[in-house]
Every structure is written in C-alpha cells, then in structure tokens.
C-alpha cells in the first residue's frame, strides 16, 4: 500500500466544512478524522450513502500521541496529497486556553507532524477566519502567535484579549495565518505548499451556535455583506479544492479570504 495512492486528510471531517470538503474531493482517497471514533464512523456512513468512499481514524488534535497515530495511519494508506485542517472551536467555548490550544497550538502540532509526510506537490490548507483580519499586525503578540508552543505564548496573547473568548479566537486565527508564513520556506524546499483560508459566516453547526449567542451581530454581518447572504460550506470546499489542485501550484504562504466581501465593511464600521 505504502506510497501508492495520493490521500486527502480532512481534520474536523465530521463538521460542516469538513464534510463539504469530503464531497468536493469525492473521487480521491479521503481520510476523515475528528475528535471521536463515533463521529468519524457516522461521517463515513453518511458519505457512503452518497456513494463517497472514505476511511478514517479518531484524533484529538491537541494530543501528540493521537497525531502520531493519525500520521502513521496516513503513511500506511498512501502518500500525502493534502492536509485539510478544518478542526476547531469558536469563541462560544468560554475557556480561553482551550480556544488557543485547539485552534492554534494544535494547528502547529499538525503542521509539524504532517511536514514529515509532505513531498513534492503536497499541500496543507489551514482554516483561519475572516475575524483574523480584524487583528492588526503587532510585534508584541505576533511573535507569540507564530510560536504557540512557547512557554509564555498564551500568557502574552492573553494580555491583549481582555478575557474575551471571541477575541481569543480572532487572535488564534491570526496565528494560523502566521504559521503559513513561518513554514512556507521549509515546505517549499520539498516542493510543497502551505496556505490558509479565511471563511466569513458559513452556515455550519459552528456558525449556528454562534448565531444563537449573538443573533443581532449575525444579522448585522449579513446585512453588511455585499452579497446579502451567509456562505455555504460548499463555497469554502470549492476554494479548498482549487488550492489543493495543480491550478494553484504557485500559491503558498498566503491567506484566501472567502467572506462575501464583508470584512472590509466591518473594519470600516469598527
């Protein structure tokens, strides 16, 4: 088996954007991973009913041990074409350390682990957020965000977020973008690419939860969106499919904003 098929690995594969990605890559070898084996199996079953073949393994992305198991599973099943990293939590999780650890520290753990599997034409696509674009560049926290495993990283960033989990989410997602810049040379030496995608409001379980918490904010965002609607998971998956394809072979170390045009309006209002 080793080295034969090109595999597409989707973290957060049970989630809204993760499942949409599996559908976009339906004719390729897909490996789904998510927090629990139950979620993975359920997703594989849903996809099978639609005629999409996928295999999978559970991985808590905050656990180095689980990530080791995942990368071994991937290596046993083929060679890495794409890591599509959609697993994450929103600011509705009120534990700031948890948001930072899942959304940023774990992203670096995955990038480091998958670097070992990357070869010519492999690509890592990391999910950031349009809200990362509201966090300005600042040398005081950017160094910490770009090095999230550093002993003081969380404490340094915490000084700027006023104990607000939504703000911590925005900072963590800026960190995701900084990780693409930090790793681009290393990946590039292998002929591999690393990029991020920043969705706007996309109608998935994550966004619906946030909408319950802040209905007025979500309505304001929709009205401010030039396209006057929220996005659908398939609209992110289509961009990710492009980024993983040969058509995007000169795109690396950058972020692609897919937000219906709203973030420029929000920044003006702030």
Supply the minimum distance, in Å, between the C-beta of residue 3 and ligand NAD. 27
Using CA atoms, how far apart are residues 32 and 47, in angstroms rounded to an integer?
A: 10
- Of 184 and 211, nearer to ligand NAD (C-beta) is 211
- Of 99 and 146, nearer to ligand NAD (C-beta) is 99
Supply the minimum distance, in Å, between the C-beta of residue 110 and ligand NAD. 10
Q: Which residue is nearest to ligand NAD (CB)?
A: 15
Supply the minimum distance, in Å, between the C-beta of residue 45 and ligand NAD. 15
Q: What are phi and psi of 7, to 5 degrees?
A: -110, 150
Tokens encoding 174:
């800026």
Supply the minimum distance, in Å, between the C-beta of residue 59 and ligand NAD. 6
For residues 228, 213, 19, 70, the Cα torsion angle rounded to the nearest 10 degrees is: 140
Supply the minimum distance, in Å, between the C-beta of residue 119 and ligand NAD. 25
Supply the minimum distance, in Å, between the C-beta of residue 98 and ligand NAD. 9
**Nearest to residue 203, comparing CAs of 182, 183, 184, 221?**
221
The answer to whether the CB of 79 falls within 8 A of the CB of 123 is: no
Percent helix, strand and coil across the chain, each rounded to 5?
55, 15, 30
Using CA atoms, how far apart are residues 31 and 11, in angstroms rounded to an integer?
A: 9
Q: How far is CA 33 from CA 70, 71, 162, 261, in A?
A: 8, 11, 33, 31
Using CA atoms, how far apart are residues 154 and 168, in angstroms rounded to an integer?
A: 10
- Of 59 and 118, nearer to ligand NAD (C-beta) is 59
- Of 78 and 199, nearer to ligand NAD (C-beta) is 199
- Of 87 and 192, nearer to ligand NAD (C-beta) is 87
Positions that interact with ligand NAD (CB under 6 A): 12, 14-18, 34-35, 39, 59-62, 86-90, 102, 127, 129, 199, 201-202, 204-207
- Of 75 and 93, nearer to ligand NAD (C-beta) is 93
- Of 113 and 121, nearer to ligand NAD (C-beta) is 113
Tokens encoding 261:
């045009």
For residues 85, 142, 253, 229, the Cα torsion angle rounded to the nearest 10 degrees is: 60
Supply the minimum distance, in Å, between the C-beta of residue 88 and ligand NAD. 3
């Amino acid at each position: 088996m080793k080295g034969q098929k090109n595999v597409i690995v989707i973290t957060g594969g049970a989630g809204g954007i993760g499942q949409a990605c599996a559908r976009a890559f339906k004719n390729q070898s897909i490996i789904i991973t998510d927090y629990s084996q139950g979620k993975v199996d359920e997703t594989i079953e849903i996809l099978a009913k639609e005629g999409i073949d996928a295999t999978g393994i559970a991985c808590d992305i905050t656990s180095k041990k689980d990530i080791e198991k995942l990368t071994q599973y991937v290596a046993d099943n083929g060679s890495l074409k794409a890591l599509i990293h959609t697993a994450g939590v929103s600011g509705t999780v009120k534990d700031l350390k948890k948001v930072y650890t899942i959304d940023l520290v774990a992203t670096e753990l995955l990038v480091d682990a998958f670097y070992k599997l990357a070869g010519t034409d492999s690509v890592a696509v990391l999910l950031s957020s349009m809200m990362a674009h509201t966090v300005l560049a600042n040398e005081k926290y950017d160094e910490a965000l770009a090095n999230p495993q550093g002993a003081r990283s969380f404490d340094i960033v915490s000084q700027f977020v006023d104990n607000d989990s939504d703000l911590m989410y925005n900072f963590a997602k800026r960190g995701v973008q900084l990780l693409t810049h930090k790793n681009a040379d290393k990946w590039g030496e292998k002929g591999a690419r690393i990029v991020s995608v920043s969705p706007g409001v996309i109608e998935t379980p994550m966004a619906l939860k946030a909408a319950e918490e802040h209905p007025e904010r979500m309505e304001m965002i929709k009205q401010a969106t030039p396209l006057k609607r929220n996005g659908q998971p398939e609209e992110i998956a289509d961009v990710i499919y492009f980024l993983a394809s040969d058509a995007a072979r000169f795109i690396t170390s950058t972020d692609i904003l897919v937000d219906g045009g709203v973030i420029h309006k929000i920044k003006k209002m702030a």
